[in-house]
């Protein structure tokens, strides 16, 4: 029997970018460059606004949800590979999607 310890590493933040095509392309590029393996994607455009895209990864998932009415997107990576997770975090820090001033922003109903 193989002894495996279950661990998950999670990184999430708000981005000022809400353009669905720009977000999808940049995240895919960074996922590939960090060594994470994309198995599939699912995306949905909401009416009257908003977009969600989920990347199913061999190592877990990445989800992005846009909130055009707030001018932000929520992006979250979950990974069971610490090495690939750390690589993603280093690469995203240099991306136009990352904005450290929005890492603690909370969206409140009716705000």
Residues designated catalytic: 60, 65, 80
Q: Cα torsion at 30, 33, 35, 37 (round to 10°)?
A: 60
Where does 1-111 show beta strands of DSSP type E?
A: 9-15, 38-45, 51-57, 60-67, 72-79
Asked whether 55 and 23 are in contact (CB, 8 A), the reply is no
Which residues share a beta bridge with 60? 57, 79
Q: How far is CA 60 from the centre of its chain?
A: 12
């Amino acid at each position: 029997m193989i002894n495996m310890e279950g661990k998950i590493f999670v990184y999430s933040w708000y981005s000022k970018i809400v353009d669905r095509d720009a977000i999808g392309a940049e995240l895919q590029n960074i996922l590939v460059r960090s060594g994470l393996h994309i198995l599939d994607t699912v995306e949905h455009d909401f009416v009257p606004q908003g977009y969600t895209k989920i990347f199913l990864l061999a190592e877990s998932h990445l989800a992005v949800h846009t909130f055009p009415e707030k001018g932000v997107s929520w992006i979250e990576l979950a990974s069971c590979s610490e090495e690939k997770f750390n690589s993603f975090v280093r690469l995203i820090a240099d991306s136009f999607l990352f904005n450290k001033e929005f890492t603690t922003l909370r969206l409140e109903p009716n705000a």
